[in-house]
Structure 1
Amino acid sequence: MEISYKWLQEYIELPESPEEVGKRLTGTGLEVEGIEKIETIPGGLEGVVIGEVLTCTKHPDADKLSLTTVDVGAEHPLPIVCGAPNVAAGQKVVVALVGATLHPTSGEPFQIKKAKIRGSASEGMICAEDEIGLGTSHAGIMVLNTDLPNGTPAARYFNLEADYQIAIGLTPNRIDAASHFGTARDLKAALNRPLRMPSVDSFFVQDTSLTLDVQVENVVACPRYTGLTISGLTVGESPDWLKQRLLSIGLNPINNVVDITNFVCHDLGQPLHAFDADKIAGGKVIVKTLPEGTSFVTLDGVERKLTATDLMICDAEKPMCIAGVFGGQNSGVTGQTTSIFLESAYFSPTSVRKTAQHHGLKTDASFRFERGTDPNMPVFALKRAALLIQQVAGGHISSEITDLYPDPIEPFRVPVRYRNIDRLIGIQIDHAEIHRILEALDIQTEDRTEDGFMAVVPAYRVDVTREADVVEEILRIYGLDNVPLSVNLSADSLSEFPKTDPNQWQSRVGQLMAANGFYEILALSLTRPTYHEAIRSTLPGPDVVLLNPLSEELSVMRQTLLFSALETLVYNINRRQKDLKLFEFGKAYHKAEQADGRHKYVEQMRLSLAMVGNQQAESWLQKGQPVAYHDLATAVQRVLSLFRVKQVDTQPADPALFQYGLTYLVNKKPLVSLGLVSPKLTKLVDLKQPAFYADFDWSALLKLATSKARYEEVPRFPEVRRDLSLVIDKAVTFEQINRVAHQTERKLLRSVNTFDVYEGDNLGAGKKAYSVSFTLQDPTQTLTDVAIEKTMQRLMASFERELGAVIRK
């Protein structure tokens, strides 16, 4: 939400700077996310002053130039060469000093510099209105009628004081502050200053020549509806003050009538809507629902099918507006409008929320209505808007105010006990200060006793309905910074930080992946149900299905990060980015059945890696090297090394997901699966090239994390390598060889590696040969030939016994 600093000053005296105001707002819970300077004219006419032409003579070497001296309030007059035909001695003019940057109405900005023009010195520039961005005329210099002293900043003469746009991160529960008036109410309480409310005392009805019959058929969806008519107005461009107010908060002016409704919405927080009264058939305004499937064309030209619960503003023949959400194409204000029906209402938040969500419409009006506006504001806002419309568009009030409010919404009554205030805040606040704060927030206190009181909360504070809410109001105005730390504070009273910080480890892994050429992605948690159907056998449970999805393609929560990665690969490949290495931290979701037969929702944190294209880019030194399985395995190993995971068991990866690959297990539980993605799955996302993918169970990985570093002395005795050639069945994997080797020799064996694999007819059917190297080392002494030979004999015996291997010499 954007707030104008100058606009806010109309409600409350603010000698503080915008930055100081921002700090006070943040302290009250209205977090200020940024403050931006807003200038009516770019540059704010900095370096441009009022001057007086003292002398003016013709330039000796140019018929169309004049030599002038200009008093700009400095010690000496400035010599300025001027080409305007209307320059003359005695004039008050606008002068751009040397160093000033001008932003003309058309063209690029330029800076004023000392110059010599046809041999004559010029130390400034006498300006026309288009040269400083004030208009389009270039017929001559601006001649001012003013008594301001020479040297006065031109911005003061033109009343171009800068404004500041304050961006507030408004939380959903604080809709009461979604306006300048609402924000000022918080400052009123925090700064203990009075508010200056706009007066509507001059409002009066001139005649009743255009009285409409207003009916509300659905009082549940529309508890209060007010309106009036204004006749004889002229729709046109808004005055500068109104346009500047809207531009200061990022809104574009449309016309004077619509601009006033937008102004009042952001001024008081009450949305309004203006209908062209001549387009209201039968002189009736009816608030009702229409049959399911009724067609309605909104202001954006889109035809929409209404639901049976959509509240509509209708005339005697047709719908005119979706109540509280969006106007219709054929009932709005245009340049030909001469009379209007002005609506100001309180609509049910539930009704507006359902309608806005169903039609995918988010407007300033629906934003406020669906969170709960002030039911006591419509009439005041109606009067204020009517007076402003008369001011900018003329016309007269041509009907009495219609106010249909059969069941007034009462304030909330919340009992509060002082001991609970002290308990929740942690200190004892003086009772007089408590009541001052609450009354400054329009919360009345009744039935006061020594123990507590009854808080009467106005209906517009929809977030204050419990005792704890009232205490929160007291604390946010009193100030969190004013609550001292307990004198008994000790290390034991501080929250215990987790031994393993997930955020810290996530940051470390992210830095590792980025250092190895991976890019982080952040994908949607919503996905297509067809993806899950393709891998249903691998999923841990039923899908989490959205009750009201935006589309069929985004109707379930993802159970795997795989398809998010594949879709990202396709998106980039289609844009000629074919060599990709990606990673993502994200959640997967599913439902798990409980003992009582009901389902609970489960979230699992995952880490995924994806690689496609070339690992090594093509250059004059070498050809492009396509990504291979071992490139992905290396990246996975780097992650495991960061967590100091050394020993893992392996098993083939699930063939429903991978064409080939492995699953690493720790303590017989899967930790990460990696491999080449099955072509059936890449085809689902229209990925036409091989993709390698790894999926980590992040929670399981964190359980293996340790912040303790382990150090070992560098061995003083050399390693020894011995090689064996094993002829074994094709079904035997290297992992089995590795496991048998380490089980046989636990003391001296440091590593096992395969450096060649051979298959041929000379080995026999179903056989293959592994060339395997073994690294041996004793940290206490140099290995002897006898010790090495004994170790290798034990290893060969184990391979023959457990794997059926034939040792080739």
Structure 2
Amino acid sequence: MEVSYKWLQEYIELPELPEEVGKILTGTGLEVEGIEKIEAVPGGLEGVVIGEVLTCTRHPDADKLSLTTVDVGADQPLLIVCGAPNVAAGQKVVVALVGATLHPASGEAFQIKKAKIRGAASEGMICAEDEIGLGASHAGIMVLDTDLPNGTPAARYFNLEADYQIAIGLTPNRIDAASHFGTARDLKAALNRPLTMPSVDGFSVSNHDLTIDVRVDDVAACPRYAGLTITGLTVGESPDWLKQRLLSIGLNPINNVVDVTNFICHDLGQPLHAFDAAKIAGNQIVVKTLPEGTPFVTLDGVERKLSATDLMICDAEKPMAIAGVFGGQDSGVSDQTTRIFLESAYFSPTSVRKTAQHHGLKTDASFRFERGTDPNMPIFALKRAALLIQEVAGGAVSSAISDSYPEPIQPFRVLVRYRNIDRLIGIPIDRTEIHRILNALDIEADEMSPDSFIAVVPPYRVDVTREADVIEEILRIYGLDNVPLSVNLAADSLSEFPKVDPNQWQSRVGQLLAANGFYEILTLSLTRPTYNDAIRSTLSGADVTLLNPLSEELSVMRQTLLFSSLETLVYNLNRRQKDLKTFEFGKVYSKTQGEDGTSKYTERMRLSLAMVGNQEAESWLQKGQPVAYHDMATAVQRVLNLFRIKQIDTQPADPALFQYGLTYLVNKKPLVSLGIVQPKLTKLVDLKQPVFYADFDWSALLKLANTKTRYEEVPRFPEVRRDLSLVIDKTVTFEQISRLAHQTERKLLRSINVFDVYEGENLGTDKKSYSVSFTLQDPTQTLTDAAIEKTMQRLMSGFERELSAVIRK
């Protein structure tokens, strides 16, 4: 939301600079995101002042030039050579001083410099209107009729002083501040200064020549509807002051009538709408809903099908506007309009929100109505707008104000206890200051006692309905910076930080995976019931089914991230993105039956990885390498290494999910399962390529996170590698070999790796050969041949004894 600094000054005295005003607003909760200088003309006439021509004589060497002395409020008059035919002594003129940059109406900007013109010194320039960008005339210099002192900035004379656009990041709950008046109310409370409200005392009804009957059929959607008529007006261009106000907040002027309605919307926060009275059939306004599917052409020329819940502004024959959202194409103000019906209403936020979302329309009006406007503002705004329209477009008010308001909206009444104010804010605040702040915010105190009072909150503060809300209002005006942070409070706050921060770990894992070529995906938690049915045997609970699903494809909550990952792969593969690596953090959901017969719902956080296509793209150096199981295993191991998880047991992965793969266990509990997905599952999403997938129990992973950092000295002694070829049964896994090796040699063995696997008829149908490398290192000394041989003998004996291995050196 944008507000104008000069516009705010019409409501409250602001000697503070815009930057200081921004700090004050931010302190009250209206966070200022930026302040931009707005110049009415390029350059803002900086360096241009009002001067007085003291003397004027002809240039001795040029018939068309004059030598002048000009008083610009300095110690000495300036010598200026002027070529205008109308320059004369005694004139008040516009003078550009040396150093000023002028932006003429046509041509490029130029800077004023000291010069010699035909041998005469010139220390400035007396300006014509086109030379300073205020018009097109170059017939002569501008001669002013003013008593302003010499040296006065010309911008002040022309009312062109720079404005400042203040951008406020308005939160959804603070719709009361979505106007200059609303913003000024916060400044009033924070600065303890009075507001100056615009007067509507001049409003009067001139005649009753045009009466429009109003009937509200849907009072729930339209609690208040008011309006009046104005006749004899002339639609045209708005005056400069009105255009400048709109331009200062980024709005484009349209015509004087529409500009006034837009001005009031941003001035008072009350949206208005003007109808061409000549287009209102039967001189009647009816506020009602229409049958489902009724066509309606909006102001942008688009035909829309109405919902049965859309509140419409109709005449005796047809709809004219979508209430609180958008006007119709055939009822708006045009250049031929001479009579208008001016609408000012309070619409139900729920009704406007549903309609705006249904049609995908977001307007300044709907933005305010769907969050809750002030139900007590429509009449004041109507009078203010009528006076402004008469000022800029002429005309006369030709009807009394019609005001349908059968059930006035009452203020909120909230019990507030002083002890809770002190407890939540953290320090005691003087009772007099508490009530000063509340009164400044239009919150009255009723039923006061030594311990409590009833806060009577005006209905425009839709966000202040609880005791904590009232206390927050006190605190934001009192100032968060005025509440000291005690030593104990700081210690208590720091001690509450978790040892394991889930968000921090999620960020670290995400960065790790992204650095290794994975792309993060974010998918819907809603899925097809057929997906859960396909893996029913693996699920621990029943489906969580939606009561009112959007479609059959989105009718249950997912119990695994697998199928959402597969759907993402299919989407990208269909768009010729063949080599994919993805990861996702997401929740899965299930339902179980409690012992008491009630349903219990569970949600668990998971991390999934998926790979398809080639691990490395094809290039002139190598052919494309298809993704293999060990590529996924490497990615999984990198995640585990980040958590410093070392001791892992394995078991075959669930065959209902994986064609082959492993489940890693820590303390006999599953931590992650990985492998190649069963083809029958990939076929469910029409995916024909093999997919490697890993599924982490994220909550279990966080419990194993090691937050302590351990530093070790870089080894000073060399490591040694020895290789063995082991002929073993096909049922023996590398994990068994690794575990046995580390159990046999705990001191010197640093790592173990398989660098070749062989199977052939000469080994037997039930045998395979692993070529394994062992890295040995002693951190205290250089290994001797004897120590190395002894270690390798112990390892070979263990393999022969425990795994029935045949050793080939």
What TM-score do you get using the length of structure 1 for normalisation? Answer: 0.84
| 1:205-284 alignment, distance < 5 Å | 205-284=205-284
Q: Deviations over 1:155-187 (max 9, x none)?
A: 223222122222222222222222111221222
| 1:549-560 alignment, distance < 5 Å | 560=561
Cα 1:701–1:314 change in 2 (3 A) is: same
Aligned AA (2:286): I
Aligned AA (2:420): N
Report SS of the residue matched to 1:228.
strand
| 1:447-466 alignment, distance < 5 Å | 447-466=447-466
Q: Deviations over 1:580-603 (max 9, x none)?
A: 98877x543534445255353636
Partner of 1:144: 143
Cα 1:81–1:693 change in 2 (3 A) is: farther
Partner of 2:175: 175
Aligned AA (2:770): Y
Q: Take 1:152 and 1:403, find their aligned partners in 2: how far apart are those partners?
A: 50
Q: Deviations over 1:649-675 (max 9, x none)?
A: 456778898898766554455555667
Q: Deviations over 1:691-747 (max 9, x none)?
A: 987665554443333332224455566543321112345554433332332234334
Q: Deviations over 1:307-361 (max 9, x none)?
A: 2222211111111112112222221222222211111111222222222222222
Q: Deviations over 1:232-272 (max 9, x none)?
A: 11222222211221222222222221121111111111111
Contact kept? 1:525, 1:558, Cα under 8 Å: no
Q: Take 2:133 and 2:509, find their aligned partners in 1: how far apart are those partners?
A: 53
Partner of 1:28: 28
Contact kept? 1:287, 1:311, Cα under 8 Å: yes
| 1:166-205 alignment, distance < 5 Å | 166-205=166-205
Cα 1:397–1:580 change in 2 (3 A) is: same
Partner of 2:792: 792
What's the CA shift for 1:230? 0.9
Partner of 2:599: 598
| 1:306-325 alignment, distance < 5 Å | 306-325=306-325
Q: Take 1:565 and 1:9, find their aligned partners in 2: how far apart are those partners?
A: 59
Q: Take 1:675 and 1:188, find their aligned partners in 2: how far apart are those partners?
A: 66
Q: Take 1:759 and 1:613, find their aligned partners in 2: how far apart are those partners?
A: 25
Percent identity among equivalent residues?
73
Stretch of structure 1 that moved more, 549-558 or 418-427 = 549-558
1:723 lines up with 2:720 in the alignment: no
Partner of 2:754: 754
Contact kept? 1:234, 1:394, Cα under 8 Å: yes
Q: Deviations over 1:732-789 (max 9, x none)?
A: 4433332332234334322111222334454444654321111234456665656544
RMSD over equivalenced CA pairs, Å: 4.6
Q: Take 2:681 and 2:757, find their aligned partners in 1: how far apart are those partners?
A: 31
Stretch of structure 1 that moved more, 212-221 or 677-686 = 677-686
Report SS of the residue matched to 2:433.
helix
Aligned AA (1:600): Y
Q: Take 2:531 and 2:687, find their aligned partners in 1: how far apart are those partners?
A: 18
Cα 1:95–1:359 change in 2 (3 A) is: same
Number of residues of Structure 1 aligned to a counterpart in Structure 2: 799
Stretch of structure 1 that moved more, 474-483 or 45-54 = 45-54
Aligned AA (1:298): T
Aligned AA (1:178): A
Cα 1:196–1:698 change in 2 (3 A) is: same
Partner of 1:349: 349
Contact kept? 2:565, 2:610, Cα under 8 Å: no
Contact kept? 2:525, 2:587, Cα under 8 Å: no
Contact kept? 1:98, 1:112, Cα under 8 Å: yes
Contact kept? 2:608, 2:693, Cα under 8 Å: no
Cα 1:628–1:190 change in 2 (3 A) is: same
Cα 1:351–1:775 change in 2 (3 A) is: same
Partner of 1:365: 365
Aligned AA (1:590): Y
Contact kept? 1:527, 1:554, Cα under 8 Å: no
Cα 1:691–1:468 change in 2 (3 A) is: same
Contact kept? 2:208, 2:398, Cα under 8 Å: yes
Partner of 2:164: 164
Q: Take 1:543 and 1:97, find their aligned partners in 2: how far apart are those partners?
A: 77
Q: Take 1:280 and 1:254, find their aligned partners in 2: how far apart are those partners?
A: 22
Report SS of the residue matched to 2:250.
coil
Q: Take 1:153 and 1:704, find their aligned partners in 2: how far apart are those partners?
A: 71
Q: Take 2:610 and 2:61, find their aligned partners in 1: how far apart are those partners?
A: 78
Aligned AA (1:707): T
Q: Take 2:102 and 2:554, find their aligned partners in 1: how far apart are those partners?
A: 52
What's the CA shift for 1:196? 0.7
| 1:232-631 alignment, distance < 5 Å | 232-485=232-485, 491=491, 495-506=495-506, 508=508, 516=515, 526=524, 529=527, 533=531, 537=535, 542=543, 560=561, 586-593=585-592, 595=594, 596-598=597-599, 600=601, 602=603, 604=605, 606=607
Contact kept? 2:549, 2:555, Cα under 8 Å: no
Q: Deviations over 1:491-530 (max 9, x none)?
A: 457643222234444555566667x476986x65547746
Partner of 1:737: 737
Report SS of the residue matched to 2:285.
strand
Report SS of the residue matched to 2:409.
coil
Report SS of the residue matched to 2:386.
helix
Cα 1:212–1:533 change in 2 (3 A) is: same
Report SS of the residue matched to 1:22.
helix
What's the CA shift for 1:100? 4.0
Gaps of 5+ in 2: none
Cα 1:637–1:251 change in 2 (3 A) is: farther
Gaps of 5+ in 1: none
Cα 1:406–1:717 change in 2 (3 A) is: closer
Q: Take 1:598 and 1:17, find their aligned partners in 2: how far apart are those partners?
A: 61
What TM-score do you get using the length of structure 2 for normalisation? Answer: 0.84
What's the CA shift for 1:191? 1.6
Q: Take 2:21 and 2:321, find their aligned partners in 1: how far apart are those partners?
A: 39
